[in-house]
Amino acid sequence: MTIQTSLGRTSLRRRNFLVSAAAVAGGFSLGMRLPVGDGAAHAAEVKEINAWVVIHPDDRVVIRIARSEMGQGTLTGLCQLVAEELECDWKKVTWEYPTPNENLKRSRVWRNFSTGGSRGVRESQQYVREAGAMAREMLIAAAAADWKVPASECKASESVITHPSGKKTTFGAVAAAAAQLEPPKQVKLKDPKDWKIAGKPLNRLDTVDKVTGKQIYGIDLTMPGMLVATVRACPVIGGKLKSFDAARVEKMPGVKKVFAIDGNAVIVVADTYWNARTALAALRTEWDTGKLAEVQTETITAMLKEGLTATEAFVGNKVGDAKAAIDGATKKVEATYSFPYQHHVTMEPMNATARYTPEKCEVWCGTQNGEAAMAAAAEASGLPVAQCDVHKQLLGGGFGRRGRADYVRQAVLAAKQMPGTPIKLIWSREEDMTHCQYHPTTMCKLTGGLDAQGNLVGLHVRISGQSILASLLPQNLQNGMDPVVFQGLMAGGVESAYGYTVPNLLIDHAMRNPHITAGFWRGVNTNQNAIYMECFMDELAEAAGQDPLAFRLKLLKPKWAAVLKAAADKAGYGKPLPAGHFHGIAQVMGYGSYVAGVAEVSVSSDGALKIHKITAATNPGHVVNPAQIERQVAGSFAYGLSAALYGEITVKDGAVEQTNFDSYNLMRIDEMPKVETVLAPTHDFWGGVGEPTIAVAAPSVLNAIAKATGKRVRDLPLMHHELKKGA
């Protein structure tokens, strides 16, 4: 990406920006890393100490947060880190979003706007802490200059600066003077053991506005003169629009305009959403779906099954000669698992409000990537990036879906039809369900070899299925291979590495891509990979005649083993349980963190499953807000267990069959187990929190079900299985 500065304004080649911003999506980002700008040119425009910290005369502290808040708590966590180094009064902290346009003008001083892959805190922590520390030093320097004393003799605490002589002032009193100072070149950050704000279970900054109804989400937004639009795209993804009868609905109540976009969708604009939706329902459309209409769930399944035995595959992890070791093993164990398409099911359907003029295009929406949304607005409007902006709203659910900006593009195209008029585009729940970017479907054949002593001597893991990068970011494939497929199974690195030491190992992928768009979904490929690996580890342990925990601990590297043992100890694994209750275990490393789970379940004589409790241990390196981590763990289990119990997107005649919550069920509150969280930070790295633990929910429950029933479930969702003891 090239940034050129001329006459104090930043210009950017639109095509380069669009390509760069498109390289960031949902649950997996390949973020752009550019130098931080100093922001000095804007000091006169905005009353700020630096780009992150604004202090009002009454000592109110506004912390600017570039990452998106969607219920995960990143906003509060980042504010805690800034406030910790700033030494401000936490009770006076508020927050605001900068816009991606301002970020570009200021040489991307706020850096990455993408929020996904559990990167919000771990990839921002260094520079936001530095921002807080720099602001503190500038405030102290301003006070010291006024008092004519060395700054080294002054200290800050609770938004108050003091000197041993008894002099005292507040942040608000010296903020204007501090804003004129040159930022320090280097700052020393606190040792986490000395934290007073970070590391503490503080209440979230966004909770009160949510419970009082003050918080505005994108779908709530109103503007003077605003009209509302809704859209219907071809039911078969990849199909085209042949014709539509606009005259049939143009005279219906409230309808302002009816038009086609992108050759595959129709939009109705009206005075209210109800009138727009009613007219769209009455609109006659004809679609061209071609051979895509021949695709069924059964044909996709057959495609994946073929890949399990294909001779060609991308190798993601290889040690020794797995096939030879398995062939020479005393006992051979084999199993095939599968994982269906999953929907994101955000409570707030996709929506965006756009206002277009020939001079400027603005968008108001919930997005996980403000810069990608701005790129989509620029492309759809035809305006330079510098003439576009996105005003982020809090998200009513993201889970990776709002990393894409297709709904933003549609809103801008609608706004272009009526220049100067704000147009709020709302997807119906049906449109949202049938035009998602779904968690990819895969199958996995696992083959293991055991020696006479029950040691694992060889393991081959063959994944067959869809590639997210091939669907969304083909330019990021590596010689045709999608490394994201191997999350949780990788040879090394800090992102999602394989924790077992196996002398002969082969993990490969036969890429098979149906026409259904695959996308990033909370936990991404770590989810099914943990199911495949952790359920098969139980099968191997059973074949070896060993306890599943002991079998794993012999193979696991230290940090993986430590977190699994922490979960097992807390859950009382191996100790007597109530009659009919059984434990199942699972572990994985994902998003830079080590996690493990122990599920306690029972299955009644008539096959009714009850998940009583899941104990989860996590080592994210550092803990910024322990209460929020506990909520994240519980939330991830609600999400992951919903998928395990009910989640399944099926295809008929090329189109997604599920259209609403009557056909895509979610776990109810009475089904939610008790969640017990064990925090085991080792304080030597920064890992993610929002996504890793979801991956151990399903395999720990599946392993417990196998113990309870004697039946191994190898394909989800569980709603298709009769869970009877001995079945």
Q: What is the pLDDT of residues 594-620, one digit of tens each?
A: 999 999 999 999 999 999 999 999 999
Q: What is the pLDDT of residue 726?
A: 59
> What is the tens place of the pLDDT at every residue in 221-256?
999 999 999 999 999 999 999 999 999 999 999 999
Of 377, 401, 426, the residue that ends a domain is 426
The CA–CA distances, whole Å, from 42 to 9, 46, 48, 109, 153 equal 11, 6, 9, 12, 30
Q: Are 453 and 439 in contact (CB under 8 A)?
A: no
Question: What's the CA angle centered on 368, arms 367 and 374, to 5 degrees?
Answer: 60
pLDDT category of residue 8 using cuts at 50, 70 and 90: very low
Query: Do both 184 and 329 map to the same domain?
Result: no
> What is the tens place of the pLDDT at every residue in 27-48?
333 222 233 334 444 343 337 9
**Within-domain flag for 601:** yes
Q: What is the pLDDT of residue 45?
A: 36
Measured CA to CA, the distance from residue 522 to residue 691 in angstroms comes to 6
**Within-domain flag for 8:** no
Q: % helix / strand / coil in the chain, to the nearest 5?
A: 35, 25, 40
| Residue-averaged pLDDT of the chain | 93
The CA–CA distances, whole Å, from 346 to 213, 292, 351, 468, 677 equal 19, 27, 12, 19, 25
The pLDDT of 489-504, averaged and rounded, is 91
pLDDT category of residue 326 using cuts at 50, 70 and 90: very high
**Within-domain flag for 433:** no
Measured CA to CA, the distance from residue 673 to residue 465 in angstroms comes to 31
Q: Which of 61, 93, 88, 81 is nearest to 124 (CA)?
A: 81
Q: What is the pLDDT of residue 130?
A: 98
Q: Which of 531, 521, 492 is nearest to 695 (CA)?
A: 531
pLDDT category of residue 25 using cuts at 50, 70 and 90: very low
* Residues 6+ positions from 44 with CB-CB distance below 8 Å: none
CB atoms within 10 A of CB 42: 15
Query: Do both 244 and 301 map to the same domain?
Result: no
pLDDT of residue 280 exceeding 70, the answer is yes
Report the phi/psi class of residue 139: left, alpha or beta, with left for phi > 0 and alpha for psi in -120 to 50: alpha
**Within-domain flag for 658:** yes
Query: Do both 504 and 404 map to the same domain?
Result: no
Query: Do both 137 and 84 map to the same domain?
Result: yes
CATH number for position 160: 3.30.365.10
Query: Do both 255 and 311 map to the same domain?
Result: no
Query: Do both 384 and 330 map to the same domain?
Result: no
**Within-domain flag for 172:** yes
The pLDDT of 648-667, averaged and rounded, is 98
**Within-domain flag for 4:** no
Query: Do both 192 and 313 map to the same domain?
Result: no
Query: Do both 563 and 664 map to the same domain?
Result: yes
Query: Do both 603 and 644 map to the same domain?
Result: yes
Q: What is the pLDDT of residue 493?
A: 73
CA-derived radius of gyration, the chain: 27
Give the domain extent around 185: 15-209
The sign of the torsion formed by the CA atoms of 615, 620, 626, 630 equals negative
Of 175, 209, 243, the residue that ends a domain is 209
Of 396, 426, 456, the residue that ends a domain is 426
Query: Do both 520 and 612 map to the same domain?
Result: yes
Spacing of C-alpha 414 from chain mean position: 28
Q: Are 459 and 447 in contact (CB under 8 A)?
A: yes
Measured CA to CA, the distance from residue 209 to residue 205 in angstroms comes to 9
Measured CA to CA, the distance from residue 698 to residue 696 in angstroms comes to 6
Query: Do both 304 and 276 map to the same domain?
Result: no
**Within-domain flag for 660:** yes
Q: What is the pLDDT of residue 29?
A: 30
> What is the tens place of the pLDDT at every residue in 89-139?
999 999 999 999 999 999 999 999 999 999 999 999 999 999 999 999 999
The CA–CA distances, whole Å, from 683 to 122, 193, 329, 621 equal 13, 9, 41, 5
Q: What is the pLDDT of residue 724?
A: 81
pTM of the model: 0.92
The pLDDT of 427-434, averaged and rounded, is 98
| Domain count across the chain | 3
**Within-domain flag for 9:** no
Q: What is the pLDDT of residue 495?
A: 80
> What is the tens place of the pLDDT at every residue in 548-579?
999 999 999 999 999 999 999 999 999 999 99
Spacing of C-alpha 271 from chain mean position: 34
Query: Do both 516 and 501 map to the same domain?
Result: yes
